[in-house]
Amino acid sequence: MSFIDERKALTREKRLSTLSNYDGSLKSLEDEIGGADIKQKIRTLTQSAYDEILYALQTLSTMEDTAIIVHGVIGCAASVLFHNRNRRVHWYSTNLNERDTILGGDEKLRNTVIRAYEETNAKLIFIVGTPVVAINNDDVNSVILELEDEIDAKIISVTTDGFKTKTPVTGYDIVLHGLLRHVVDRRAINMQEKKDFVNVVSLSENRENIAAIVAILRDLGIEYQLLPQYADVRAIERAGEARATITLDPDEGGYFAEELEEVFGVKYIKTSVPVGLRGTRHLILTLAGELGIEERAKQYIEKQEEKAQSILHRKPLNGKSVFLDINLASAIHFTDLIEKLGGEVSGLTIPYVDLKNRENFKKLSSINNAVPVVIANGQIFEKANILSKKRPDYYIGSGSQVGFAAGEESTAVSLKNAGYLGYSGLYSFADLIVRAGTVKNSHIQKSAASVYKESWMKKSSNWYVKQEVK
Amino acid sequence: MLTSVKSPRNGCGLHGALQTVTEIKGIVPIVHANAGCAIQNYLADKSSGQVGSAVSGEEIFSTDALERHVIFGGASRLREQIKNTIKVAEADLYIVLNSCESAMVGDDVEAMTRESREQGEQVIECLTAGFHGDSHYGYEAVVSDILKKIKLVKEVEKEKNDRLVNIFGVLPHKDIYFKGDLEEIKRILEGIGIKVNTFFGADGSVEDFSKASGAALNIVFSKWGREPARFLSEEYSIPTTEWNSIPTGPEEVSEFLYEISGKLGIDEETARRSAQKEKDEFAYYLKGIRDSFYEEFAGRSVAVVGDESTVVKVAGYLKNYLDADIRIAVVTDYFGKAELSAEEKAETVAGLAREVYFTQDSKEIQDILIHSSVDLVLGSSLDRQAVEEKGTVGLDISYPVYGKAIMNRTYSGMHGALTLTEDYLTAIREADSLKEKRLLEYIRQDSAKEGE
């Protein structure tokens, strides 16, 4: 069923019964989510965490030809300072004050849209919703209606609010929904023959990882366009003309790929997250099969895998236990990679599980099903509790803050800016592990003193995870 | 009416409060907001080279309020969160900070913290809804509230210590060199036997707040420090001395030493000796660059962008000591509860620059800078980006600072004046080598034309 005619993207909870709070064993989780629906849980103690506004801002900041208007109080635009470090982002705050929270900020919004249009060359102007305008029910759409004939740029409402979902990845859906509805050229719907290029959907992959995948596509001579990251408006407009779509992380980009398939007839090729030899091979072979270049692809893979053997033989994780904190889709092949490098996954943290990605747990069969599993967006206090008891040799995390693990005497490895996708990722990940091992017991580790009480560390880590009562 | 802001450099009231409390050892903040409020600030601070030294980002406890808390109220969620945070996190003081969301919903935050206090827990609150003001206001509000409410949960100092002073108006993170600045203030004052309550930095902690009532003097270094000082003056009769910026340069440090020792009844000889030592040390270093100063550095034109106290400090020093021509000064913290009248504005920065502007809008600032012809822009990275294409060189003095890690560097006092001199001269040499390159390009282009 397509969602393209809906005014807003649904939250992940509504669309897929997404569960963001859990703490137990792999076995107990599988029992918990095996039914027709997934029961919601809550935490009665929480720490700050990314919300869908932050995810939407991050994605919008990586796109070309855009201006972002954060419609709210000035602080709601603060994180864009971070995204603006390495590239120029055009962003504005409507800078609402106390009076506007009572009387509404429509006039300010109107002025800011006009201003953004006049000051930038933006072809797309995004209006990002925040708690204040959501609570006040400010009428963003009537401002858009009024201005869309006046200015020569598309104005798109990003219907985030910061409190209707526990799953920040909903922010990606909201942005992608806006692009599907307003930017992707609908003339492509009836196109008889699609063009000879592939959409590569990327939302959260870092620079190193994108470079690794781009290198593979180039080596194989596959025409592609990356989106929405690094995309200009033209790339998004012609997404419907592509021969096929792949996503670097199906949990993030799947929404876009499915809609492109259903509405625009662009085939969605379901590939693995290209982690390790197995994940990368799966992505290349599946894509090559679709494009009719299997032979070339097989030769390429053979050559690359032969080169990679030397790394695998070295086994930098030999005999080590690893606590892995990463998206479920990536965890499958990451687990395999860790095992190939000689290590063993002794604990797992993922941000969410839902009706769609839950089948991935079957692919984690090599992990002992008694290992602890936490489902959380952030919530370091709970992860620290488990680490203090399990004492894994390594904590490998993709989140913003892995330093706490050092405080619990694990070797902390951050995947935030590290490459781990594709073939070059294999080398850089192995290097990262070797280097991280030498940081153990260093001064920076000792500086990471725990803020948590001893008594908490002795409690069961799932103390504050409860069944939701509606 | 406040207008829209392009590339805002200031966060909201909650962010300012967080920038402040996450730098106080022993405090654990409990944010009553939706999940992302504290992370917005964390990312902004992270881009600027420093996050909270005590707690930061995803470590910060937060109610992560959801739709049901907006509709039915979030007070009971807050109660649960306070109770559980106390069980899990080690702290000398817990402080609840609220947000736009909880303020609009009307949650009774005070009732929740009072309830915890009645059970003997050390919990206070500060109402920091983002729409009340920007990050500067957040500092002012949270420091004032801790001083006001700490007596509800802790013994505060009743004995007067006639050698203890409180330092206000140096804003964590917003003053990008606040740690180094506080260390330098401390060094200077310790030189005449004074103990310093810095509240933040390597030696600051919650304890400073309970000792503050016993101080003999409040020293305020920016307008944002007035409110906490005013409270202590009224409540504990502690006199206040206000400076419009941290004294920077040997003359300023000397004047500061005489003034403070006078107020604390320290004999003039001690102040004189200390001032002389600072002056001698400064002179020694300046001697080493004297010839280059006349040949390369004198009379350079600069623009200075930042918070009022920073602009006053940097522009004043460069003008008085390094003969800089301050063409432009842009003040970026002119608003909020401490909003100045036009006359007050003119007075603060009078005589500092040829042209003075008051704006926090990065586009307006860019337009001002692009149409000027200065050798050097001293400001935030946003201001440096604005003149990058022109090839103008810059120096980091304001928030945010990209591409730099900051520990205890300072541009204040006497040691800071030396570092500022170092960096200023380095930047000018960089500007000159760029000019040389451009000249060469022009000449090459002209020669190529003739050859055609």
Packing angle, helices A276-291 and A422-439, rounded to 10: 170
Distance CA B378, CA B325 (A): 13
Q: Examine the domain organization and report whether B109 and B241 are in the same domain.
A: no
Distance CA B218, CA B198 (A): 11
Question: What is the rounded average pLDDT of the residues B191-213?
Answer: 96
Q: Examine the domain organization and report whether A343 and A254 are in the same domain.
A: no
Q: What tokens appear for A84 in the block?
A: 């603006």
Residues 1-40 on B with a CB inside 8 Å of A are 1-15, 28, 31, 34-40
Task: Give residue B26's pLDDT.
Answer: 94
Q: Examine the domain organization and report whether A321 and A268 are in the same domain.
A: no
Instruction: Name the phi and psi angles at A9, rounded to 5.
Output: -75, 140
Residue B123 lies in a domain: yes
Residue A5 lies in a domain: no
Distance CA A224, CA A243 (A): 10
Distance CA B220, CA B71 (A): 43
What are the pLDDT digits (tens) for A87-134? 899 999 999 999 998 888 999 999 999 999 999 999 999 999 999 999
Q: Examine the domain organization and report whether B389 and B294 are in the same domain.
A: yes
Q: Are B394 and B387 in contact (CB under 8 A)?
A: yes
Calculate the CA dihedral of residues A454, A459, A461, A463 and round it to 10 degrees: -120
What are the pLDDT digits (tens) for B54-84? 899 999 999 999 999 999 999 999 999 999 9
| A70 secondary structure, DSSP code | E
List the single range of A279-293, A355-369, B223-237, B268-282 with lowest mean pLDDT: A355-369
CA angle A250, A254, A255 (to 5 degrees): 155
Q: Examine the domain organization and report whether B44 and B112 are in the same domain.
A: yes
Question: What is the rounded average pLDDT of the residues B338-362?
Answer: 77
Q: Examine the domain organization and report whether B194 and B55 are in the same domain.
A: no
Paired with B240 in beta bridges are: B218
Is residue B2 scored above 60 in pLDDT? Answer: no
Q: Examine the domain organization and report whether B297 and B336 are in the same domain.
A: yes
Q: Are A71 and A127 in contact (CB under 8 A)?
A: yes
Asked if B398 has any chain A CB less than 8 Å from its own CB, the reply is no
Residue A18 lies in a domain: no
Query: How many residues belong to chain A?
Result: 470
Distance CA B300, CA B303 (A): 10
Q: B297 pLDDT band (50/70/90 cuts)?
A: confident
Which residue in chain B is spatially nearest to A92 when comparing CA positions?
A: B6
Which residue in chain B is spatially nearest to A382 when comparing CA positions?
A: B88
Residue A197 lies in a domain: yes
Strands (E), B154-284: 164-168, 195-197, 217-220, 240-242
What are the pLDDT digits (tens) for B388-447? 888 888 999 999 999 888 999 999 999 999 999 999 999 999 989 988 998 999 899 888
Measured in angstroms, the CA of A97 and the nearest CA of chain B are apart by: 5
Nearest Cα residue to A50 out of B51, B70, B129, B37 = B37
Among B127, B153, B179, identify where a domain stops.
Answer: B153
Q: Examine the domain organization and report whether A195 and A280 are in the same domain.
A: yes
Q: Examine the domain organization and report whether B19 and B99 are in the same domain.
A: yes
Paired with B12 in beta bridges are: B134
Distance CA A142, CA A127 (A): 12
Contact yes or no for B81 and A464 at CB 8 A? no
Domain that holds residue A258: 187-298
Secondary element (H or E) of residue A394: strand A394-397
Query: How many residues belong to chain B?
Result: 452
| A421 secondary structure, DSSP code | B
Measured in angstroms, the CA of B181 and the nearest CA of chain A are apart by: 23
Contact yes or no for B28 and A400 at CB 8 A? no
Q: Examine the domain organization and report whether A102 and A191 are in the same domain.
A: no
Measured in angstroms, the CA of B189 and the nearest CA of chain A are apart by: 29
Residue A12 lies in a domain: no
- Nearest-CB residue to B14 (from A49, A75, A82): A75
Q: What tokens appear for A213 in the block?
A: 């995948």
Distance CA B3, CA B5 (A): 7
Q: Examine the domain organization and report whether B243 and B299 are in the same domain.
A: no
Strands (E), A115-193: 124-129, 154-158
In chain A, residues with a C-beta closer than 8 Å to the C-beta of B41 are 75, 78
Paired with A224 in beta bridges are: A198
Q: Examine the domain organization and report whether B296 and B312 are in the same domain.
A: yes
Is residue A63 scored above 50 in pLDDT? Answer: yes
Q: Examine the domain organization and report whether A331 and A421 are in the same domain.
A: yes
Contact yes or no for A81 and B9 at CB 8 A? yes
Report the percentage of chain A scoring pLDDT > 70.
Answer: 98
Q: Examine the domain organization and report whether A229 and A280 are in the same domain.
A: yes
Residue A158 lies in a domain: yes
Of residues A447 and B203, which shows the higher confidence score?
A: B203
Among A149, A164, A179, identify where a domain stops.
Answer: A164
Question: What is the rounded average pLDDT of the residues A450-459?
Answer: 92
Residue A59 lies in a domain: yes
Question: What is the rounded average pLDDT of the residues B40-67?
Answer: 94
User: b/e string for A58-82 if b means 16 or more Cβ within 10 A?
Assistant: bbbbbbbbbbbbbbbbbbbbbbbbb
Strands A372-375 and A344-350: parallel
Question: What is the rounded average pLDDT of the residues B200-223?
Answer: 96
Among A298, A322, A351, identify where a domain stops.
Answer: A298
Task: Give residue B337's pLDDT.
Answer: 46
For residue A228, cis peptide bond before it (omega within 30 degrees of 0): yes
Measured in angstroms, the CA of A127 and the nearest CA of chain B are apart by: 13
Number of domains in chain B: 3
Residue B65 lies in a domain: yes
Nearest Cα residue to A180 out of A103, A73, A263, A301 = A263
Q: Examine the domain organization and report whether B108 and B206 are in the same domain.
A: no
Number of domains in chain A: 3
Q: Examine the domain organization and report whether B300 and B396 are in the same domain.
A: yes
Q: Examine the domain organization and report whether B279 and B311 are in the same domain.
A: no
Measured in angstroms, the CA of B372 and the nearest CA of chain A are apart by: 20
Contact yes or no for B39 and A164 at CB 8 A? no
Domain that holds residue B384: 288-438
Domain CATH number, residue A338: 3.40.50.1980
Average pLDDT, chain A: 94
Residue A427 lies in a domain: yes
Report the percentage of chain B scoring pLDDT > 70.
Answer: 96
Which residue in chain B is spatially nearest to A377 when comparing CA positions?
A: B58
Residue A430 lies in a domain: yes
Which residue in chain A is spatially nearest to B71 when comparing CA positions?
A: A135
Question: What is the rounded average pLDDT of the residues B270-277?
Answer: 98
Q: Examine the domain organization and report whether A273 and A381 are in the same domain.
A: no
Domain CATH number, residue B326: 3.40.50.1980
Q: What tokens appear for B13 in the block?
A: 């009231």
Q: Examine the domain organization and report whether B302 and B334 are in the same domain.
A: yes
Question: What is the rounded average pLDDT of the residues B35-48?
Answer: 96
- Nearest-CB residue to A48 (from B4, B31, B385): B31
In chain B, residues with a C-beta closer than 8 Å to the C-beta of A400 are 42, 46, 57-58
Instruction: Give, rounded to a whole angstrom, the gap between the first and last alpha carbons of chain A.
Output: 28
Measured in angstroms, the CA of B400 and the nearest CA of chain A are apart by: 8
Among B238, B267, B284, identify where a domain stops.
Answer: B284
Q: Examine the domain organization and report whether A221 and A118 are in the same domain.
A: no
Asked if B202 has any chain A CB less than 8 Å from its own CB, the reply is no
Asked if B384 has any chain A CB less than 8 Å from its own CB, the reply is no
What are the pLDDT digits (tens) for A237-274? 999 999 999 999 999 999 999 999 999 999 999 999 99
Among B124, B153, B182, identify where a domain stops.
Answer: B153
- Nearest-CB residue to A451 (from B84, B90, B382): B90
Asked if A453 has any chain B CB less than 8 Å from its own CB, the reply is yes
In chain B, residues with a C-beta closer than 8 Å to the C-beta of A47 are 58-62
The residue to which tokens 């004294």 are assigned = B247
Task: Give residue A36's pLDDT.
Answer: 87
